[in-house]
Amino acid sequence: MKAFLVAVMAMTVSAPAEEKDPTLKPLVKRLKVASIDAKLGEIKVKEADFEVLWRKDSTRFYHHRSILLKDLKKGAVIHVLGKLHGRRGAPAKGADDAAAMITDVEHVGVGAAFVEPPITPASGHIRWYAGELLTFVAPFQMKVGNAEYKLLGGEKIAAYSIEKLAPEGIAGVSVIIRGDAKKVTVERDGKERQVTRLQATEIHLVELTPEHTKVFQLQWGEKRKETPPEPEPATKGKAKKDREAPNLP
């Protein structure tokens, strides 16, 4: 009896997993969306040689935008890649009290779906800091941990915003679709034709400045090595992972 139970358990554990279709090939393609059908899980595109499918439980929709800091909402949590300088002693009489600052800003990110891009800083002193934006006019100030810092760069500083997008939000626009594709033969208007059937894993609506577009290509583009991790829900008014400022003299 014991031997029989062991055999049954072994059969259960070693049940073969579902294999991925070997004919599928990874593909990244920009396509113009005509409409989206949530019931059929289909995205109809203008390009006649493509069929696009998506899944409610796994396909991710993202909206990428460049937003000036002055246009962000109150309490926005921003992620800054820059060099932090702490206040050194008491300010002189009549001097600017905001001596603590972040300079050499290389990137600013915002949004519930933001994931730090794989940017290589110009020096080892440039790091990521997350905190709350306190002012909406230049010079901008942000709170990192319990300290406040002036963010240098002028009123033209733009943040790279990444938010999750409702599927209906891509209708009528061009999007970048990443997924797995293969050639199939379908019947249209009584005739057979070959099309590329693309099973979408990520769909990106991109409205970025040229500078931020370079970051998009680095993080989400065709040559990307790994898929960015699914972001944790952001807590309103609080950084997802505040980086405490170092104790500078």
CATH number at residue 48: 2.40.50
Whole-number percent of the chain with pLDDT over 90: 59
In the chain, the number of structural domains is 2
Question: 128 to each of 5, 131, 191, how far by Cα in Å?
Answer: 55, 10, 56
Same-domain pairing of 135 and 156:
yes
Q: Is residue 248 part of a domain?
A: no
Q: Is residue 235 part of a domain?
A: no
Same-domain pairing of 130 and 175:
no
Q: Is residue 241 part of a domain?
A: no
Same-domain pairing of 56 and 40:
yes
Q: Is residue 6 part of a domain?
A: no
State residue 2's pLDDT score.
53
Q: What is the pLDDT of residues 67-78, one digit of tens each?
A: 999 999 888 999
160, 183, 210: which is the final residue of a domain? 160
Same-domain pairing of 108 and 44:
no
Residue 235 burial (CB < 10 Å; 0-12/13-18/19+)? exposed
Q: Strands (DSSP E) along 89-173, which ranges?
A: 101-110, 126-133, 140-144, 147-151, 158-164
Q: What pLDDT band is residue 226 in, cutting at 50, 70 and 90?
A: low
109, 126, 160: which is the final residue of a domain? 160
Q: 102, 105, 130, 104: which is closest to 116 by C-alpha?
A: 130
Residue 222 has pLDDT above 90, yes or no: no
**In whole angstroms, what separates CA 138 from the centre of its chain?**
26
Q: Is residue 10 part of a domain?
A: no
Q: Do residues 144 and 159 make contact, with C-beta atoms less than 8 angstroms apart?
A: no
- Round to whole Å and give the CA distance between 175 and 168: 12
Q: Is residue 53 part of a domain?
A: yes
Same-domain pairing of 156 and 108:
yes
Q: Is residue 13 part of a domain?
A: no
Same-domain pairing of 80 and 120:
yes
Q: Is residue 214 part of a domain?
A: yes
- Which structural domain, as residue segments, surrounds residue 174? 23-64+163-220
Same-domain pairing of 53 and 79:
no
117, 133, 160: which is the final residue of a domain? 160
Question: 107 to each of 74, 134, 154, 232, how far by Cα in Å?
Answer: 20, 18, 14, 21
Same-domain pairing of 193 and 152:
no
Q: Which of 157-171, 175-189, 225-239 has the lowest mean pLDDT?
A: 225-239
Same-domain pairing of 125 and 183:
no
State residue 246's pLDDT score.
39
Q: What pLDDT band is residue 91 in, cutting at 50, 70 and 90?
A: very low
- Round to whole Å and give the CA distance between 144 and 235: 15
The alpha-carbon radius of gyration of the chain (Å, integer) is: 24
